[in-house]
Structure 1
Amino acid sequence: MENNNDVLRSIRYALDLPDAAIGEMVRLAGGEVAADLIPALLKKEDEAGFVECDDELLVAFLDGLIITRRGPSDTPPAPIKRLTNNIILKKIRIAFELKEDDLHDIIKLAGFQISKPELSAVFRNPDSKNYRVCGDQLLRYFLKGLSQRLRG
């Protein structure tokens, strides 16, 4: 996506999370974020005091979201070399326990059309011949639809 801050902001809005909950989720996953840094991470790029959310922090937040919503896992998550939209979408899918139909409905709710085979290709192994890169537009529509679904 354009930046990790957009993902953080979108999930925070969808779940109506206070700043303290964001910090707690990061800590649950073994990360660290200063409480006074969270408001700066939630600002838009053109706002004064904006601080960029790096991949490590977003991964910790998403892993913490999974732990918060589903409980701790017996196996720690695999380390991520490079955060991609596909990984972000996978982690959100896990956190909210979304099935393929749920994902399709959420994206459709935001006004975007994608076939089920195209969507399932986003979740394939990158080595698969049917793998498809999740573009910024698809992730943006998914996050928009998720907010609409959760907030009504």
Structure 2
Amino acid sequence: MENNDILRRLRFTLSLDDDKMIALFGLGNLKVDRAAVSNWLKRDGDEYFIEMSDKELASFFNGLIVDKRGRQEGREPIAEERLNNNLILKKLKIALSLTSDDIVEAFQLIDKRITTSEIGAFLRNPNHSKYREFNGQYLRNLLNGLQAKYVTKKDR
């Protein structure tokens, strides 16, 4: 999945307005303006569309974690230069205080099946023998499941 698509889906799912998004980037130690956020949220074919980098998306996730969970004492969040779907899963899990059972439930809401042991494999260290890649389809399904969980029918 493209970083911009992930940002668009999370904005809708979590009902974030421009001011909140700007604040989240700020909490992740990235100063952005309304124009930057607006251009990241545009569709690929739009003339003002700007592709979002991994570091920019990581800053958003770090800000979301700080907003939802609080800032860790003495540690400033550092945005990773490279993101992969497994890291995005970890950041979502932390930010939204999701348990493995919550993730299973999100998949069930969209009639998809996943087990807690599979989730554990996605969250492992990449050097671990039981590590598995959280491919794009899993991420897409997770975001759809979170949308089903957080967005009420009247909001759609």
TM-score computed with the length of structure 1 as normaliser: 0.93
Against the structure 1 CA distance between its residues 54 and 140, is the aligned structure 2 distance closer, same or farther, given a 3 Å change threshold? same
CA shift, 1:119, in A, is 1.8
Show the 5 A alignment for 1:1-152: 1=1, 3-74=2-73, 75-77=75-77, 80-152=80-152
User: For 2:79 and 2:98, how far apart are their aligned partners in 1?
Assistant: 23
Superimposed CA distance per residue, residues 14-38 of structure 1 (whole angstroms, 9 cap, x where no aligned partner): 1111111111111111112222111
CA drift of 1:47 comes to 2.6
The structure-2 alpha-carbon separation of the partners of 1:57 and 1:79, relative to structure 1 and needing over 3 Å to count, comes to closer
Deviation at residue 51 of structure 1 after TM alignment? 0.9
> Runs of at least 4 residues of structure 1 off by over 4 A?
none
* Aligned CA-pair RMSD: 1.4
How big is the shift at 1:12?
A: 0.4
Specify every segment of 5 or more residues in structure 2 that has no aligned partner in the other structure, as ranges: none
Contact map agreement 2:55 2:82 (CA 8 A) in 1? no
Task: Give CA-to-partner distance per residue, 1:44-77, whole Å, 9 cap, x none.
Answer: 2123321111111101100000111111112344
Equivalent pairs: percent with the same residue?
Answer: 35
Q: Residue 62 of structure 2 contacts residue 79 of structure 2 at CA under 8 Å; is this kept in 1? A: no
| Pair 1:101–1:146, CA change in 2 (3 A) | same
SS at structure 2 position matched to 1:90: helix
- Kindly tell me the number of residue pairs found equivalent between the two proteins: 151
Contact 1:121 1:132 in 2 (8 A): yes
Q: Does the Cα contact within 8 Å between 2:4 and 2:40 map onto a contact in 1?
A: yes
| Residue ranges of structure 1 left out of the alignment (5+ in a row) | none
Task: Give the TM-score taking structure 2 as reference length.
Answer: 0.91
Secondary structure of 1:97's aligned partner: coil
**Alignment-mate amino acid for residue 33 of structure 2:** A
Offset of residue 81 of structure 1: 4.3
